[in-house]
Amino acid sequence: MAADRYYQKDNPEIEPLAGVVTKSDVATNGGSVSMPNSRYTKPEAFKTPQALFVIYSGGTEREKDYFHLILRNPDLFPFVRIAFHAEPNFDEGGKPSIINFATEQTKEYQESASKENTDSYFLLTDVDHFENFMSEMQRDCDASNITLIISNSCFEVWLYYAEKSDRCDGFEIPQNKLEISSAFKTWANTQIKGGLKPTKAIFNIERNIANAKNNYVEENSFPTLFSTQMFRLAEQMLPFVNDGLVQLRSEIERRRLNTRTLPNKSI
């Protein structure tokens, strides 16, 4: 049963997967099913099919932070589950171990996949130090039905487009290619008031998609510098999260206004 699908590994960066419920589970239990390890109960009637997004990443911080609100508020996002797996280690020769980790883990997911639910698999990677492995990663991802999502030079390019529509104008590209990623992260934080905001960027997901697509350029099927393929993942995810983001934004605004209108108390 899909509801019994879990994954846990002795790696603090890996998020446990909440149970995935099928239509047959709903029928068997009188119209609703309590999600294990979750406050969510699947509604009797639903407009869109439930989907599981399995996301693998060699990055452990900003990539995961981007999906933080969805991971932490499953009751507001009843039609999607995200399983985020980070594997920041390396094999011999500097090969990122996320490649083998993702292909092996996907086999386990596919063995227990429900025919009634849509599972999507994505591997997020920066160009950064991994340019020499891009072809191998693409080949392995294609063989395992995983969508490879490349950000050139780093995930922060995607976060930049959540706020800015220009093609990173003003950034001085270092002569050493290995310094581009770190230099860009430092520069991008100075271009946005308060710096890059990975946990809040998802509120701008539609603008983020538009800006990333407008600035996307490929050469030989490979994204050029300041291009990111994250819009491909975001476009697939948007229909499942849009309503929840609207509700969450409204709730945050309501709390902000309530805080502002609280009477001052004498100390």
Q: What is the pLDDT of residues 94-123, one digit of tens each?
A: 889 999 999 999 999 998 887 776 799 999
The predicted model scores a pTM of 0.79
Q: What is the pLDDT of residues 228-266, one digit of tens each?
A: 999 999 999 999 999 999 999 999 888 888 876 655 544
Looking at residue 124, its pLDDT comes to 97
Phi, psi of 2 (to 5 degrees): -65, -30
Looking at residue 259, its pLDDT comes to 78
Residue written as token pair 């090969």: 95
The yes-or-no verdict on residue 49 having pLDDT over 70 is no
Q: Could you tell me what percent of the chain has a pLDDT over 70?
A: 78
Looking at residue 256, its pLDDT comes to 84
